[in-house]
Every structure is written in C-alpha cells, then in structure tokens.
Chain A
Amino acid sequence: MSTMKLSIGPIQYFWERERVLDFYQQAADSAAEIVYLGEVICSKRRLVKFEDWLAIGNELKQSGKDVILSSLTLLEAASEMSSLKKLCRNESFIVEANDISAVQLLSAAGKDFVTGPSFNIYNGRSLQLLARKGLKRWVLPVELGLETLKDLQGLRPEGVETEVFALGRLPLAYSARCYTARSHNLPKDDCQFKCIEYPDGRMLETQEDQEFLVLNGIQTQSALTHQVLDQLPELKALGVDVLRISPQHSHTMQIIEIFDAARKGAELEPLGKELLGMLPLGACNGYLVEQAGMDYGSEVSHDTQQTA
C-alpha cells in the first residue's frame, strides 16, 4: 500500500499579504505534496489577487508541488460568478470546486476537477455521477465518519482519489451574513475588514464560557481543531489517498512534519501529545468515530437520549 499524500488546504482566514506569501515560501519546503490555493470564504478579501495566486502556484509547482486552485464556497453576487468563471478558465491548474456552480462550469468545459470538504457527496451514486463529469479527487464531507468512508471507498469509481480533512478547525456553516462584522456591530457592506484581526477566527463562547465556535467572516467553524492522527492506521487501511492539513496561523509547518512522521510509521502517541500543544484551543475528532463533531477520543458528550 502506498504512503498517503499530505495536502495543505486553502487558507480559510483573512491574513496579511506578507503572511500569506511567507506561508507559501515555507510550504514549498514542506513535506506536503499538494497545495490548495485561493480565497474560499469572502470575495471582499483581495490582498492576494487572482494573478498573485497564479504566481504563487507557479512557484510551488517549480518546487514540485501539485497545485490546485480552490473556488469560493458560497456564491451570491454576479461579480463572484465572473471571478469563478475566470478561475475555471485558467489553463495552469486544476480547480477544487467548493460549490456546484464550479462543477458545472468545469464539466461543461471538459476539465477535470476536485471537490472540497463543503461539497456534498454522501453516497456512491453521487460519486459515480460526478466521476463521469470529471471528478478526480473528492474530500469526504467533514460530518461523515469511518463507517461511511469504508462503504464509500467500496463504491468509489476507478481513477478517483479520496481526501480526508485531517486537521483544522471544521468548516461548519456559511451565511449571507458576516458574523465577524456583526460582532463589531458593523454591517457586511461596511465590514472594515475586521476579520484580519482574527487570523484563527474570532471565538464565540457560551454564557458558561465554553469555547464553542469560531467566527470567520461569513463562515462558522468549530472552536476545537478536528484532528485524525489517532485514526491514521484506519484511514490508510481504507485506502485514503490524501490527508488535508487546513492552515492555522501558527505551527502549520510543524504540524505537517508531525503528520509526515506519522504516515511514515512513527509512534503516534508522542506525536499526538506534541500536536495538542500546537492547536489554538484543543482537539476533537467525534465526526470520524460517528459521534458529535465536538467530541474527542473516548470523551463522548453526555445528554444523549438515544431515540429510535
């Protein structure tokens, strides 16, 4: 069985331009084989423009990386559709479709594509139809677990790779409303780019101070970082091709080193301990083991009255 590849997912947050450029310089020297580039959350974030992404992509390609351009997840304005069309017309890189619009544009143009973690593929028939349209790799929706993954791997068409969201705050929801702006009492049309102040998202706590969710512009994420290090042997056994590391503001390159060591067979327990120290808050992995997404390991949340 071949070694699983590592990918760096698109940056979910709004970072300073210099930080982004610096991040991809480091990525070029990392153990990750695949790098996803582009703005997937908010079309108003334009410190790094389309041409810049192409330039970054070309440099990464020269460093031997497999580069994919990721599309916006929630399309609303006509201008966003124009940008998507431009992205899908590019001749240099494959596109990760984060919305059905991108799938339509790419398949109509006869181009291969990848689908991202917020694109709904829940069963074999969906996978097979999309494969006929040009799907070459798909990311398992983050709320699905190992049991379903096992079934889907059995139904997976020839020539389609499976990627699993392996580390990062979970992308949970998207809205017309910008929650970061709202948390500053600002309307979306005058957001003042407040999200740049929160390079790992802005914390939302319950009234009991439980750190629960993270606001990232129009996106809502988990406060805890989903991480699948403990399940690496199972994922490998199920024939998963790619593990995705979703960028966080600090330690992403060290995290890639940890996953690199783990996939090559290093002992997981010490790596897991090291990893925990690098996460902004704490870890969860419930989705993968068919529990609530916020659960972790054996610490299953209580209060569940199982009904038929």
Chain B
Amino acid sequence: MELVCPAGNLPSLKAAVDNGADAVYVGFKDDTNARHFAGLNFTERTFEKAVRYAQDKGRKVFVAINTFPQPNGFQRWKAAVDQAAGYGVNALIMADIGVLDYARERWPDLRLHLSVQASVTSAEGIRFYHENFGIRRVVLPRVLSVSQVAHVITESPVPVEVFGFGSLCVMVEGRCLLSSYATGRSPNTYGACSPASHVRWEETGDGTNTRLNGVLIDHYGEGEKAGYPTLCKGRFQVGDNTFYALEEPTSLNTLSILPELRKIGVSAIKVEGRQRSPAYVGQVTGVMRAAIDQCMKDPHGYHPKDQWMKKLATVSEGSQTTLGAYHRPWQ
C-alpha cells in the first residue's frame, strides 16, 4: 500500500518525504484545487523545487487540480494542467469531466487519478472515467463501509486509494454545497469549505461564538476550547436537543483497520491535510509509515501501537478520532 501525504508548502513536502511518504500531493496557489487557502500552496518557483526534492529521493509528486471550473475560469485550469505536466509530475488528481477531457487530449501519456471530489462510489462510475479519460487510480469518498470499499475494488477497472487519516468530510465530497449556501463559496466553485474570509469569532459574556457569514455555528462556554466553524461540525438544535447534529469535530483514523484495508486490496492510503503545518505532516507521515510497514510485514500480528494512537490523537480535530463510514454503526 502506497502512502500518499499532503503538502501545502515546501517545508511540509520535505517533512512528508523525510518521514517516509511514497507520494506527496500538492496544489497551485489558486482556486484550481480544493485547498485554496491564503498563504498555502505552490508558486511556479516553489513547485519546481518541490518536484525536484521529492523525485530526487525517488518519491512521487501528484498535483491536485480537482475543483470545477466555470466557463469564465476554464483557462486557469488548463494552465494548471499544462504547468504540472511541464514539470514532469507523476500524476494529476482531477475531478471535473471537462478538465479531464482537456488533460487527456493535451497530455495523453500523463497519469491521471480521479479525485475524491469526483464523488464516485461505484465501479460503474469508475468505468466512465477509465473509458473516457484513461484514469489509472480512483480516490473513494469517505461514505463507504469497508465491505462496500471491498466490493468496489473487486469490480473496479483501476486501483483504489482511500483516506487513512485526517479531517473527515461527512458529506459525499464533490456534491456538498453547505458552504456556498452560507457563504457563496464552496469546495466545487472556490476550492474551500467554510472559508476564513467569512469566519467571525465573537467573545460573549459567557464564552465564545463562532460564526460563518453571520450564521452561528457553535457556542463555546467559558474554558471550552473553541474550534474552527466548519459548517458540518457545529452544534445545532433539532427538536429539543442541541448537539453535533451532523458530525462531531473529529478526525478519521484507520490505524486499527489497516490489515483489513490491505486484505481487500486497497492500493494506496491517503492522509488529509494540505492546510496543516509541517509538524502535522511529519508526525502523521511518520506514524502511518511505521504502521503500514508493520502491517505489510506481519498483517496477522499487526496491532496499532499506543504511541501511534497517542501521536495521532494530538493532531486530531477535537483530539478525537473515528473510523467514520468504514464502520457501519457510525452511519
């Protein structure tokens, strides 16, 4: 199983490579990728350095061009494809049918992976992208149970990558508009969910309110640690209850099911978090590297070590982790 790690800048990329990532995925400094945050991502100059650093050490570089251009911006996505191809990256991670069509026509030999943003959950769906654009790998959304992933793998025409660690989207990726409903900007159109430009932290007499474009996402009492107001991870009222109606602030962690993922034929494990720090990237990459190596060497004797779990908990949202949809009762 290949370990695919995130990098939002050069120090993170180095941290990923130095801690054992097989591949690092990056994005350019604009809305062509789904982590379009201020101060993040690569200019042409840093990108060249990044590709060289990783490839000199025998690691791969993937470029995420995985948002959905509208006609007036399409040229920017073409430029991103051309730039990535020009530097000899190992693969592009893409979602939009139009951009895939362009990449396939302009760079027929370039390896294309289907992004999680393409929102594909079945082998039939994968076949569409395989037949039309020759994709060579698919990243599955975080909505399938382990047995459902296994079923897709049996019938898929291409190898399958799944998320192994990081912030958890609870909605099927690529078809979630909650963020643009509240702010006008979504992952699909703008490359960001719950964008920082619309976030407001507000001290109240009894704690802190977090708002997204004015909408109260959560209220934290005195002494309670306030989290970023990601729309799906706030506390809301439904009926008589106030609770995390959609999802708790928690991170996905698959350490406990790595042998199962190996057994069903998962080809690559992806770590979420291009927006996170180099320290996060280094720490998570190191743990995942050790865990995957252990799992491949001795899948039956494998057991996630306490120290791994502790290390990952410290970098998890709300300091807690979950198996998410992989584990049926979560659903």
Contacts and interface: CB of A to CB of B under 8 A. Distances in A.
Interface of A: 73-78, 81, 84, 99-101, 103-105, 107, 118, 120-127, 129-130, 141-144, 147-148, 151-152, 154-155, 170, 172-179, 182-183, 187-189, 202-210, 212-213, 215, 220, 222, 286-287, 290-294, 301-307
A176 B331 contact: yes
Interface of B: 38, 68-72, 74, 95-99, 101-102, 118-122, 124-125, 127-129, 131-132, 142-145, 148, 151, 170-172, 174-178, 180-184, 186, 188-189, 197-198, 200, 211, 213-219, 232, 234-239, 241-242, 245-247, 324-325, 328-331
Given A173-B175, A204-B236, A293-B180, 8 more contacts: A74-B175, A75-B121, A76-B144, A101-B121, A130-B97, A143-B188, A183-B238, A207-B235
Contact of B180 (A104, A123, A143): A143
Nearest to B72: A151
B237 A174 contact: no
Given A75-B122, A122-B188, A125-B102, A104 B214 contact: no
Please name the 6 residue pairs, one residue from A and one from B, whose CB atoms are nearest each other, closest first: A125-B98, A293-B181, A151-B71, A176-B143, A122-B68, A176-B325
B120 A174 contact: no
Given A76-B148, A303-B198, A287 B180 contact: yes
A293 B219 CA distance: 23
B245 A215 contact: yes
Contact of A207 (B96, B188, B214, B216): B216
A173 B174 contact: no
- For B122, B128, B198, B213, the residue with the greatest tally of chain A CB atoms inside 10 Å of its CB is B122
B238 A189 contact: no
A189 B328 contact: yes
Given A123-B98, A304-B198, A307-B197, A144 B70 contact: yes
A221 to B, nearest CB: 9
A126 B99 CA distance: 8
A293 B102 contact: no
Contacts of B124: 81, 84, 100-101, 104-105
Contacts of A84: 124
A293 B177 contact: yes
B245 A151 contact: no
A193 B238 CA distance: 17
Contacts of B242: 207
Contacts of A175: 143, 170-172, 246
A84 B125 CA distance: 12
A215 B143 CA distance: 17
A123 B175 contact: no
Nearest to B211: A303
Contacts of A202: 238-239
B97 A182 contact: no
A212 B215 contact: yes
A68 B210 CA distance: 44
B122 A101 contact: yes
A101 B216 contact: no
Contacts of B215: 206, 210, 212, 294
Contacts of A75: 121-122, 125
Contact of B175 (A101, A124, A174, A287): A174
B184 A148 contact: no
B184 A292 contact: yes
A127 B101 CA distance: 11
